[in-house]
Homo-oligomer: A and B are copies of this chain.
Amino acid sequence: MRGMLSFLIMWFLSKRPMYGEEIALELEKMKGNKPTPGTIYPALKHLQNNGLVTSKKDGRNIIYSLTEKGTTTSKKAFEYFCSMFEPVFKDCIKAKNLKKM
């Protein structure tokens, strides 16, 4: 279960390249609280050190995107995530349908 933050960052980047603040804001939308720079940048650095993410300057921003290796890794991690949490997801749907009645 360690590595969830990295997983989510890669999932975001698989949709489109983003700069750091954008990623932080997406995480805020998702989790309800915005990760501080001390959370997000070390994670991005770690992903870069492992060759999963690259960065490119764009004016004031630094745009992060998946490398080729990052794309395949992200895909595999996504499949793993989906199959692992499937029982919980099903429970989520069940709870949601019960609420409607």
Contact = CB atoms under 8 A, between A and B. Distances in A.
Chain A's interface size range is: 20 to 34
Chain A's interface: helix, strand, loop or mixed, by majority?
A: helix
Interface in A54-89: 78-79, 81-82, 84-89
Contacts of A82: 88, 92, 95-96
A5 B88 CA distance: 13
A5 B11 contact: no
Contact of A88 (B1, B11, B96): B11
B31 A84 contact: yes
A4 interface: yes
Contact of A81 (B8, B32, B88): B88
